[in-house]
Structures are given as structure tokens and as C-alpha cells.
Amino acid sequence: MQAITLTRSTILFLLIFLATSAATAQNKQWTIKEMMEFRSIDHPIISQNGAWIAHGASPDRGDGAAYFYDTGSDRSYSIERGTRPTMTPNARWGGAFTQPPFRDQVLAENRRDIPKQGYALISLRDGAIAGFENVETATFANNSVWLMLHHHKDENEKQEAGTLRLTYLRDGSSRTFDNVTSFTVDSLSTTLVFSTVDSLKTATLSGLDITIGNAVPFEIDRADSSVYINFSWHEKTGRLALLRAGTELDNQDAELFIYDAPSREFAPTGLEELIPDGLTLNRNSRITWREDGENLFIGLAEPRTPTAPEPDKDSIDIFDFDFILGERELDVWHWNDPLIKTHEKETWNQRNNQTFLAYFDMAGNRLIQLADRQVRQVWPNARAHYVVGRSDEAYRQRITWDGRYYDYYLINVETGERTLIESELRGQVQASPYGRKVAYFNEGHWLLKDAGTGSVINLTKNLPVGFANEDDDRPAEPM
């Protein structure tokens, strides 16, 4: 479980309170320098047991800090230049990424001269801090006894990938594993799975039983010119779904595997044989388990056009027309295009990396496509027999002058059949935990639709109050 995040309204109240208090205390007009130095609260969290609150505080220009407050006393700690604080589930430890001094960032001649971020581990019992340099990611295990730090690779040491540091919080001892490209820990904090790569580009997927002191890693799988990515655990069964993909970014050949931690079995799923023409697995294919642990949702992508190789500079003819015109651009726009060109350019990466959600019935060896070009956005639901999807295909032109509209659908995960919930909606649609009912806001009222019967009930018709946000001053109907 993760720490609880404070709501926007709570954050806004805290910011107004702090700003008002500061202005009252000083009773003077702020200078530009003081405005740049004023720290705004960000990334607020509450520990699972409610014993501690933490947040970052960042100025517009200058060094920020991370703060930790004991809710039962006036005790507090801080981490200078800290950001994005986190805490263990038992609230005995906290941590934050540490940024290099702002002055060093500003005065650096180029970005390579700027030191990479570090990480500070703080004991919430006595405030003792341990610092770590060159940290890319940091994760606390759910059992509150492990900290995993993935360091950036050391260019001077000619590493193939970064070092993974596994720290035992009870005594501070650590183990390190070199050339780690990715890692994950199960929700019960019993098994660490990590991928390494050697100088020959051979990838090895390894496991480690972290319930046993000084346990030896064991090999799960090995493949040439490959990477292991997109890990997804099923919490109850201890099964791990992951992709094995080629090392080249243009390589579309990815395979779905299942690792069963209790039996240590690693096997392909055969999904690739079920994928229809025009779709493929790639690095952007995210995996979500169904609650039963037998089936899962996965994103499928349209194959990319391979990137043309860079030409040999010695063979370039500087008088060649193709070379001369190669850097020129021409925007061709038609008045009836769905998106204007500036919008197309701004959203190109997002659209190019988009995947279309599918449901993989592993027991029945079936693949049901839920999303496509007509209904691009579909959200997985671990429990539901129905999922919600939406399409803006019919309303894209209106984004330029009016706003965003969507057609919302209920989609049967077993058949892929779609049922229209409502068309031309501006608001969001919320599905019940099992997807049997959906609630949505339309024309000033909250409505509830039954997925089985199709019946719609107006929940707020007879209530003498409004449910639209009248303070929303955008040029549109209140939502």
C-alpha cells in the first residue's frame, strides 16, 4: 500500500494560510527576490498509520527542502534540497531525493556538468540521515525493512547499466548488484526480481529470496540482445507478468512471459500467436492483472516505421538535392482536419506511443480487443466484467474553439461488445468496483446507468441543490 495523498483543496488551504501568515508577519510589500525564494508546498503525503505528515517545499528559484512532521507532537525533521518525500508503511523511515545545489545547476556550462540527484534516508525516530549519491529510483518494500536504490550507471567505470543497492533498514547493511537494468519486489516483500546485462548485450533475469539472509541470486531466464521490462505482480498468487523485448528501440518483437515465484517456473504465454495483424507488443505495452490472477489486460500497439539509419558523413554529397532539402519542413493543413498542425505536433509522441487495451484470457487462450482507433481510451478494471472506454473522434475539431467532448462506452471484457453510455459528454464517467453500474454527470445532474439492463436513473433530479461547479470560470457549461 502507498501513503495517502492530500487533496488539492487541502493543499490550497495550506498555501493560502502560509502566504497570509507570512504577509501579516512581515507587514510589508514583497520584493521580487522574496517572491522567487518563497517556497510552495508540493508532494504532500500522510503515513498509513497517520503518525507522520511529509511534503516538499520548492521555491521558484533556489534550493528547496523536504519536511517530516510528527502528528502526535511538535517533533519535525527536514532534508535540505529534498524533494518527493516517501515513508515506509510503518512510518519508521522516510526518504527524499536530493537535488544538486541550485547555484551549481545555474552556473554549469552544460547539463553534463550538473551532478545527478541523490537520495537521503532519514530515521523518523531520531532524525539521523544517511545520504546516497547518483540515485535514479528509490523504493521502500511493503514490509518496511528494505530500501532499494537504483543508481545511475557510472560512465567512468564503463558500466552497461546502473548498480542496485539493497539496504536492510534494521541494521543498515547493504548488498549491491551491478549492471541492473530493472527490478521489482512482490507485495509481500519476499522475492526480488532483477534484470542485468553484460558487455555482450546478454540479459539475465534473476531472483533473490530476501527473507533469507545472504541468499544467493538464482537465474530465471537468459537471452541475447534483450531487455526485461514492464513488470506486473499479482499480489495473491505471487505471479509476475513481464515482457522480454529486443534492445533496439525500433525492434517490435516483444514476448509476454509469466514467472511463478512459489514454484520458480518461467514460461511464455503464447500471446503473440493471438495478436491480430496490424498490432504488436512493444515497450509501451503495459500489463494489468485481473483479480483472479488467471487473466490480464495488456496494451497492443501499431507497428512503428523503422527509423532510417544515419548516413555515413564521408559519403554525403553536399550538392545532392535530397540532402539540401532534407532539413526543410512543409506543413500542409486542410480546413477539415481533425486537429490543427500545432496540436498534432504537440501530441505526436503521445499518439505515436499509444497502445490499445486488450483482454488476455490465458485459460481459454483467447484475446479480446477492447480498444481500437474508434475507441482509443479504455481503462482496465481488475474486478469488473465491464470496463469503460471513450472516444473523441467525432469532436476533435471542436477542441480548438469549444473544449473536449467524448462518447463513453461500457465494454464487455469477455466479448468486446460495446454499449453506448452517453454521447457528447464533457465530464468523467465513474464505474462501480465490479463495473455493473456507471455514474456520470450530464446537464447539471448525476445519472446512474445499469450495465445489464441499460436503465438510467437520475440521482439528483429531486434534490433542491445544484451539483455543478458554478465557480469554474472556463467558457463552457459548469461541470
C-alpha distances out from residue 311 to 12, 169, 320, 325, 423, Å: 54, 52, 13, 15, 50
| Res 435: pLDDT | 83
| Res 474: pLDDT | 62
| Res 348: pLDDT | 78
How many Cα atoms occupy the beta-carbon half-sphere of 196 within 13 Å?
Answer: 17
Report the alpha-carbon distance of residue 246 to residue 255 in Å, rounded: 9
How many Cα atoms occupy the beta-carbon half-sphere of 240 within 13 Å?
Answer: 30
pTM for this entry: 0.82
User: Mean pLDDT across the chain, nearest whole number?
Assistant: 87
Q: Which segment of 201-205, 218-222, 246-250 scores lowest on mean pLDDT?
A: 246-250
For residue 19, is pLDDT > 70? no
Are 86 and 135 spatial neighbours (Cβ–Cβ below 8 Å)? no
Average pLDDT of the segment spanning 388-416: 89
pLDDT top residue among 159 and 416: 416
Grid cell digits, residue 196: 542485468
| Res 274: pLDDT | 95
Instruction: Give per-residue pLDDT as tens, 203-217.
Output: 999 999 999 888 999
For residue 2, is pLDDT > 50? no
Q: What is the pLDDT confidence band of residue 478, given thresholds at 50, 70 and 90?
A: low
| Res 12: pLDDT | 47
CA angle 9, 442, 426 (to 5 degrees): 70
Q: Give the list of residues 6+ apart from residue 69 with CB closer than 8 angstroms, or none.
A: 52, 53, 54, 75, 76
Determine the 3-state secondary structure of 118 from DSSP.
Answer: strand
Average pLDDT of the segment spanning 412-438: 88
C-alpha distances out from residue 39 to 61, 65, 260, Å: 9, 9, 47
Q: What is the pLDDT confidence band of residue 1, given thresholds at 50, 70 and 90?
A: very low
SS (H, E, C) 387-403: EEEEECHHHHHHHCCCC
| Res 320: pLDDT | 78
Q: What is the pLDDT confidence band of residue 251, given thresholds at 50, 70 and 90?
A: low
For residue 436, is pLDDT > 90? no
Instruction: Give per-residue pLDDT as tens, 334-367.
Output: 878 888 878 878 877 888 888 999 999 998 999 9
> Long-range contacts: 277-281, Cβ < 8 Å, 24+?
278/302, 278/303, 279/303, 279/356, 279/369, 280/252, 280/254, 281/243, 281/245, 281/252, 281/254, 281/255, 281/256
CA-based nearest residue to 11, from 66, 55, 62, 61: 55
pLDDT top residue among 157 and 276: 276
Average pLDDT of the segment spanning 273-294: 92
C-alpha distances out from residue 149 to 168, 184, 351, Å: 12, 11, 32
List b or e across 250-265, with b for residues whose CB sees 16 or more CB atoms inside 10 angstroms: ebbebbbbbbebeeee
Question: What is the dihedral sign for C-alpha 442, 444, 448, 453?
Answer: negative
Report the alpha-carbon distance of residue 72 to residue 255 in Å, rounded: 51
For residue 460, is pLDDT > 80? yes
Are 196 and 179 spatial neighbours (Cβ–Cβ below 8 Å)? yes
Q: Which segment of 140-149, 173-182, 185-194, 438-447 scores lowest on mean pLDDT?
A: 438-447
Q: Give the list of residues 6+ apart from residue 50 with CB closer than 8 angstroms, or none.
A: 71
Grid cell digits, residue 147: 530500501
CA-based nearest residue to 188, from 222, 142, 149: 142
| Res 271: pLDDT | 94
Q: What is the pLDDT confidence band of residue 27, given thresholds at 50, 70 and 90?
A: low
Q: What is the pLDDT confidence band of residue 158, given thresholds at 50, 70 and 90?
A: low
Are 141 and 124 spatial neighbours (Cβ–Cβ below 8 Å)? no
Average pLDDT of the segment spanning 253-264: 94
Report the alpha-carbon distance of residue 441 to residue 448 in Å, rounded: 9
Strand-pair category, 356-361 with 4-5: unpaired
Question: What is the dihedral sign for C-alpha 191, 195, 198, 201?
Answer: positive
Report the alpha-carbon distance of residue 153 to residue 141 in Å, rounded: 23
Counting residues of the chain whose pLDDT is more than 70, the rounded percentage is: 89
Report the alpha-carbon distance of residue 266 to residue 255 in Å, rounded: 13
For residue 11, is pLDDT > 70? no
Partners of 119 in beta bridges: 97, 132
For residue 44, is pLDDT > 90? yes
Q: What is the pLDDT confidence band of residue 442, given thresholds at 50, 70 and 90?
A: confident
Determine the 3-state secondary structure of 29 from DSSP.
Answer: coil
Determine the 3-state secondary structure of 102 from DSSP.
Answer: helix
For residue 38, is pLDDT > 80? yes
| Res 171: pLDDT | 93
CA-based nearest residue to 180, from 167, 157, 162: 162
Report the alpha-carbon distance of residue 312 to residue 253 in Å, rounded: 27
pLDDT top residue among 268 and 112: 268
Determine the 3-state secondary structure of 108 from DSSP.
Answer: coil
Instruction: Give per-residue pLDDT as tens, 100-154.
Output: 999 988 888 887 778 899 999 999 999 999 999 999 999 999 999 999 999 998 7
Report the alpha-carbon distance of residue 302 to residue 316 in Å, rounded: 33
For residue 22, is pLDDT > 70? no
Instruction: Give per-residue pLDDT as tens, 296-329.
Output: 999 999 887 666 666 677 777 777 777 777 767 7
| Res 289: pLDDT | 96
Q: Which segment of 5-9, 101-105, 227-231 scores lowest on mean pLDDT?
A: 5-9
| Res 337: pLDDT | 82
Please give the full DSSP string across 304-319, using - where no structure is assigned: PPPPPPPPPGGG--TT
| Res 110: pLDDT | 83
DSSP 272: G
Average pLDDT of the segment spanning 20-38: 72
Most confident of 6-20, 280-294, 341-355: 280-294
